[in-house]
């Protein structure tokens, strides 16, 4: 079986500096271990329209795509590749970007829409409503000098861009015949856009390092530390956490919060964007200087180490479907606290393998964090149950087998 798998970025194994979608390597390795499976990995890039056959199991197809320009050369390369390589299944990973619809429309022109399956990752058409929930309006409307100079958008304009991208997503989901999802939330969304769609449930494989057998150990963690995997834009909700940290600091003055990814407050005040300014104001207001550590981009092994060192993992997002970060915390057995938004309730069993709180009540996030800090027996119980849950929903063998069965079913 030959699969054209369409992803959003060049995978990490082609570019060590790129940590986006590192989990792609895991699913590729799992699929290619099966006899008779070969994959053409397609992704938008900047190096031209080209095929690169790495070995007899894996070919990379890079294409130039710009929603505002003529993409006929890219369309020709993709179409010719599908035909000449006798592709059996076209698997589009994600609905968030216009190039997903672009790929689907090429398949429609070839009369192959029944062979297309789309995996839902995030849903920007629904995320946009939550883009800057909890951020005061004065930080959403205006533009800082830095944003104006660099041509960046205000938070309101960023939200508008999400809405525009969502129109491509809605068109794709309203026309595609086969969808893969992981939560009751994304199933309901897919069927609301397209009542006739065939919905398949398929758990997602995590990055390789998280299957190495290492588990969280309360005796080895940095007590009273929190890890947040990313916070580079308002949708990820770091502001909710910063707003309630003073309550935790009162009880635990040694608190440290470690945050993965881009540091939005690294620049001098005049160079910060609006969201960075708001985060900085929360740090000043809460006297949190010295307690917040931005870790920068981390490859998977460094991420794994930071999970294992923290006392609790927190996902304060305004909205998530099926967070890979939550899945990584689960499989490692890290006690976790998360906002009960989007599909998170399908992933985490509240009070059993994690602690959830309503997005509208961030004060409960602080209460849950304090419960974990105060009660080692609770932390250990959550950890044990999290490992069981994580191993179940991220079972590589089962997930790969289920995915292959989905491929077989849509090619019948």
Q: What pLDDT score was predicted for residue 16?
A: 43
- Confirm or reject CATH 3.40.50.2000 for domain 210-393, answering yes or no: yes
CA atoms within 13 A on the CB side of 269: 4
Q: What pLDDT score was predicted for residue 21?
A: 57
Residue 170 C-alpha from the chain's centroid = 19
- In angstroms, rounded to a whole number, what is the distance separating the alpha carbons of residues 245 and 363? 9
- Confirm or reject CATH 3.40.50.1100 for domain 2-205+395-410, answering yes or no: no
- In angstroms, rounded to a whole number, what is the distance separating the alpha carbons of residues 28 and 34? 10
CA atoms within 13 A on the CB side of 146: 13
- In angstroms, rounded to a whole number, what is the distance separating the alpha carbons of residues 293 and 322? 26
- In angstroms, rounded to a whole number, what is the distance separating the alpha carbons of residues 27 and 37? 12
Which value, to the nearest 10 degrees, does the dihedral of the CA atoms of residues 395, 399, 401, 403 take?
Answer: -170
With a CB cutoff of 8 Å and minimum separation 6, the contacts of 250 are none
Looking at residue 270, the DSSP 8-state letter turns out to be G
pTM (2 d.p.): 0.92
Look up tokens 């390789």; give the residue. Answer: 208
- In the chain, residues under CATH classification 3.40.50.2000 are 2-205+395-410, 210-393
List per-block mean pLDDT (blocks of 10 residues) for the chain, which spans 412 residues: 93 56 73 91 92 92 94 97 97 96 98 97 95 93 66 81 95 98 97 98 92 96 97 94 98 97 79 88 96 91 96 98 95 98 97 97 97 98 98 95 96 90
Looking at residue 350, the DSSP 8-state letter turns out to be B
């Amino acid at each position: 079986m030959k699969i054209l798998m369409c992803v959003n970025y060049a995978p990490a194994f082609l570019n060590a500096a790129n940590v986006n979608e590192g989990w792609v390597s895991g699913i590729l390795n799992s699929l290619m271990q099966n006899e008779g499976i070969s994959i053409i990995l397609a992704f938008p890039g900047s190096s031209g329209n080209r095929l690169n056959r790495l070995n007899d199991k894996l070919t990379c197809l890079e294409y130039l795509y710009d929603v505002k320009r003529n993409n006929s050369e890219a369309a020709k390369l993709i179409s010719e590749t599908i035909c000449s390589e006798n592709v059996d299944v076209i698997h589009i990973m994600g609905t968030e970007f216009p190039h997903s619809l672009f790929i689907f429309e090429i398949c429609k022109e070839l009369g192959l829409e029944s062979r297309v399956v789309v995996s839902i990752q995030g849903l920007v058409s629904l995320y946009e409503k939550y883009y800057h929930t909890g951020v005061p309006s004065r930080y959403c409307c205006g533009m800082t000098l830095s944003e104006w100079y660099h041509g960046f958008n205000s938070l309101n304009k960023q939200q508008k861009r999400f809405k525009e991208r969502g129109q491509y997503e809605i068109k794709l989901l309203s026309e595609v015949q086969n969808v893969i999802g992981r939560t009751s939330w994304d199933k309901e969304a897919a069927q609301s856009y397209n009542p006739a769609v065939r919905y398949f449930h398929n758990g997602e494989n995590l990055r390789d390092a998280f299957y190495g057998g290492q588990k969280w150990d309360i005796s080895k963690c940095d007590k009273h530390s929190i890890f947040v995997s990313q916070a580079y834009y308002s949708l990820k909700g770091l502001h909710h956490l910063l707003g309630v940290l003073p309550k935790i600091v009162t009880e635990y003055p040694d608190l440290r919060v470690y945050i993965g990814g881009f540091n939005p407050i690294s620049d001098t005040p005049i160079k910060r964007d609006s969201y960075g300014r708001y985060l900085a104001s929360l740090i000043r207001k809460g006297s949190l200087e010295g307690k917040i550590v931005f870790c920068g981009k981390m490859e998977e092994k460094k991420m794994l180490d930071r999970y294992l060192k923290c006392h609790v993992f927190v996902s304060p997002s305004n909205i998530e479907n099926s967070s890979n970060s939550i899945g990584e915390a689960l499989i490692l057995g890290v006690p976790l606290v998360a906002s009960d938004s989007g599909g998170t309730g399908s992933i985490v069993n509240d009070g059993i393998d994690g602690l959830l709180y309503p997005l509208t009540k961030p004060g409960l996030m602080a209460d849950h964090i304090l419960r974990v800090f105060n009660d080692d027996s609770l932390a250990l119980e959550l950890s044990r149950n999290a490992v069981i849950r994580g191993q179940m929903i991220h079972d590589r063998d089962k997930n790969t087998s289920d995915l292959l069965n989905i491929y077989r079913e849509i090619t019948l």
